[in-house]
Amino acid sequence: MPCNHLKELANAEESLLRKEISKNRDYLSQKRHSNVELAEAERDFVDHDLKDWAIGFKDCYCNYVCMKENCDSKEE
């Protein structure tokens, strides 16, 4: 179900997503022993991690932060 509080969810997600991409950049740079550009780290994160990260984030946000009563988008 779509989130009834999408704006709140997106605002919370944005800063954490930037941190995850930054961590991915650091990881890739260490792995390659050279600096990786932010755009490349973003593409890599989108290609390999975004879907699972977004599902986990929404689940945690909805169940532990938002906790709106009678929300259709919460998993029972």
Predicted local distance difference test score (pLDDT) of residue 30: 98
Q: In angstroms, what is the C-alpha Rg of the chain?
A: 15
24 found inside a domain = yes
26 found inside a domain = yes
34 found inside a domain = yes
Q: Rounded CA gap, 4 and 56, in Å?
A: 17
Range of the domain at 17: 6-66
Q: Rounded CA gap, 8 and 22, in Å?
A: 22
74 found inside a domain = no
72 found inside a domain = no
75 found inside a domain = no
Spatial neighbors of 12 by CB under 8 A, at least 6 apart, are 61, 65
Tens digit of pLDDT at every position of the chain (76 positions): 566 777 887 888 888 899 999 999 999 999 999 999 999 999 999 999 999 998 888 888 888 878 776 566 545 4
71 found inside a domain = no
Predicted local distance difference test score (pLDDT) of residue 54: 87
1 found inside a domain = no
How many domains, in total, are found in the chain? 1
pTM value is 0.72
Predicted local distance difference test score (pLDDT) of residue 43: 97
Predicted local distance difference test score (pLDDT) of residue 3: 67
